Chains A and B, each alone.
Chain A
Amino acid sequence: MRIVFKTDYMQDIRPWKDGYQLSLYLILLAVVFAAPWILDVFYLGELTNVLIWAIAGMGLMVLTGHTGQASLGHAAFLAFGCYSNVILLEAGVPFILAFPLAGVITGIIGALVAIPALRLHGIYLAIFTLAMSILVDDIIVLTEPWSGGVSGKYIAGIDLFGLSIDRWGTPMLFYWLVLAVTVIVALGYINLLRSPLGRSFIAVRDSEVSAQAMGVDIARTKTISFGLSCMVTGWAGAFMGMFAGAFNNETFSVVISIELLMMIVIGGLGSIHGAFFGAIVIGFLPQFLSIAKEYVGALFGGSTVAIPGLEFGIFGMILIAFILFEPMGIYGRWLKIRTFFELFPFYRKDMFKRQKSYLKTERLR
Chain B
Amino acid sequence: MDNVQLLISGLANGCVYGLIALGFVLIYKATEAVNFAQGDFMMLGAFVTIGLTNTEYMGLPFWMALPISIGIMAGLGYLLDRLVIRRMFGQSQTAVVILTIALGFVIRFVAGLIWGHEPQTLQNPLAGREISFGGLVLGMEDVAVIVVTVLLTGSLFLFFSRTKLGLAMQGASQNQLAAYYMGIPVKRVQGFIWALAGAVAAIAGILFAAKGSVDPSTGLLGIKAFAAAVIGGFGSLPGALAGGLIVGVIEPFASRYIAAGYSQIAPYALLLAVLVFRPHGLFSQVRVKKV
- A interface residues, Cβ below 8 angstroms from B: 64, 70, 116, 119-120, 122-124, 126-128, 130-132, 134-135, 138, 141-142, 254, 258, 261-262, 265, 307-310, 312-313, 315-317, 319-320, 323-324, 327, 356-365
Bound together, the chains give a CA A132 to CA B223 distance in angstroms of 12
Residue from B93, B174, B265 in contact with A138 in the complex, judged by beta carbons closer than 8 Å: B265
Measured between alpha carbons, how far is A360 from B93 in the docked complex, in Å? 11
**CB within 8 Å of A: which of B29-69?**
31-32, 34
Does chain A have a CB within 8 A of B250?
no
> Which residues of the other chain, A, contact B271 by a CB distance below 8 angstroms?
127, 131
Known: A131-B272, A360-B175, A361-B173. Contact between A310 and B109, CB under 8 A?
yes
Give every chain B residue within 8 A of A142 (Cβ-Cβ): 261-262
Q: Tell me if B265 and A135 are in contact (CB < 8 A).
A: yes
Chain B residues near A324 (CB-CB < 8 A) = 84, 87-88, 99
Task: Tell me which residues across on chain A come within 8 A of B226, comparing CB atoms.
Answer: 127, 130
Taking CB atoms, residues of chain A closer than 8 Å to B92 are 122
Jot down 20 A-B pairs with beta carbons below 8 A, ordered by A.
A70-B97, A120-B275, A122-B92, A123-B34, A123-B94, A124-B279, A124-B280, A261-B98, A262-B101, A309-B108, A313-B108, A315-B102, A319-B99, A319-B105, A320-B84, A320-B102, A323-B88, A324-B88, A357-B91, A361-B32
Q: Assuming the A-B contacts A320-B106, A360-B174, A360-B176, are A123 and B286 also in contact, with contact meaning beta carbons closer than 8 angstroms in the complex?
A: no
* Complex Cα–Cα for A230 and B40 (A): 30
- A124 in contact with B106 (CB, 8 Å): no
What residue in chain B is nearest A123 (Cβ atoms)? Answer: B34
Residue of B32, B98, B175, B230 with most chain A CB atoms under a 10 A cut-off: B98
A89–B276 Cα distance when bound, in Å, is 35
Q: A134-B223, A262-B101, A313-B105 are in contact. Are A126 and B265 (CB under 8 A)?
A: no
**Which residues of chain B in 243-291 are interfacial with respect to chain A, using CB atoms and an 8 Å cutoff?**
261-262, 264-265, 268-269, 271-272, 275-276, 279-280, 285-289
Residues of B within 8 A of A130 (CB): 223, 226
Q: Taking the complex as formed, is B90 at the interface, i.e. its CB lies under 8 A from any CB of chain A?
A: yes
- Judge if B95 is at the interface, Cβ distance under 8 Å: yes
B269 touches A128 (CB 8 A): no
From residue B17, how far is it (CB to closest CB) to chain A in Å? Answer: 15
Whether B112 lies near A308 (C-beta < 8 A) is yes
* Main SS at interface, chain A: helix
User: B90 to A127, Cβ gap below 8 A?
Assistant: no
Size class of B's contact patch?
A: 35 or more
Does B103 have its Cβ within 8 Å of any Cβ on chain A? yes
- Chain A residues with CB under 8 Å of B286's CB are 362-365
Cβ of A313 and Cβ of B106 under 8 Å apart?
yes
Chain A nearest CB, measured from B186 CB (Å): 9
- Chain B residue nearest to A141 (CB atoms) is B261
- Known contacts A124-B275, A309-B109, A309-B216; decide if A361 and B98 are in contact (CB<8 Å): no
| Cβ–Cβ contact A131 & B227, under 8 A | yes
Given A361-B175, A364-B286, A365-B288, A126 contacting B97 (CB threshold 8 A): yes
Contact flags B72-95 to A (C-beta < 8 A → 1, else 0) = 000000000000100110111111
A132, B272: Cβ atoms under 8 Å?
yes
A362 to chain B, nearest CB (A): 7
Q: B173 to chain A: which residues have CB within 8 Å?
A: 359, 361
Residues of A within 8 A of B144 (CB): none
Residues of B within 8 Å of A317, CB to CB, are: 102, 106
Whether B14 sits at the interface, judged by CB under 8 Å, is no
CA separation between A308 and B114, bound complex, in Å?
12
Answer whether residue B110 sits at the interface, using C-beta atoms and an 8 A cutoff.
yes
Let me know if A116 and B276 touch, CB within 8 A: yes
Q: Give me the interface of B with A, judged by CB distance under 8 Å.
A: 31-32, 34, 84, 87-88, 90-95, 97-99, 101-106, 108-110, 112-113, 117, 173-177, 180, 216, 223, 226-227, 230, 234-235, 261-262, 264-265, 268-269, 271-272, 275-276, 279-280, 285-289
Chain A neighbourhood of B272, CB < 8 A: 128, 131-132, 135
Contact: A316 with B176, CB < 8 Å?
A: no
Contact status of A316 and B34, CB under 8 A, knowing A119-B279, A131-B271: no
Q: Contact: A323 with B97, CB < 8 Å?
A: no
- Are the C-beta atoms of A135 and B268 separated by less than 8 Å? yes
Whole-angstrom CA separation of A333 from B110 in the bound complex: 29
Residues of A within 8 A of B98 (CB): 70, 261-262, 265, 319, 323
Report Cα–Cα, A64/B94, bound state, in Å.
10
With beta carbons under 8 angstroms apart, the residue of B97, B113, B227 that contacts A123 is: B97
Query: How far apart sit A316 and B98, CA to CA, in the bound complex (Å)?
Result: 10
A312–B90 CB distance below 8 A: no
Partner of B275, one of A127, A258, A320, A323: A127
Closest B residue to A120 by beta carbon equals B279
Q: Is the CB of B103 within 8 A of A316?
A: yes
Please, how many angstroms separate the alpha-carbon atoms of A131 and B99 in the complex?
19
When distances are taken between beta carbons in the complex, the residues of chain B under 8 Å from A365 are 286, 288-289
B102–A323 touching, CB < 8 Å: yes
Report chain B residues within 8 Å CB of A360: 174-176
> How far does the Cβ of A348 sit from chain B's closest Cβ, in whole Å?
22
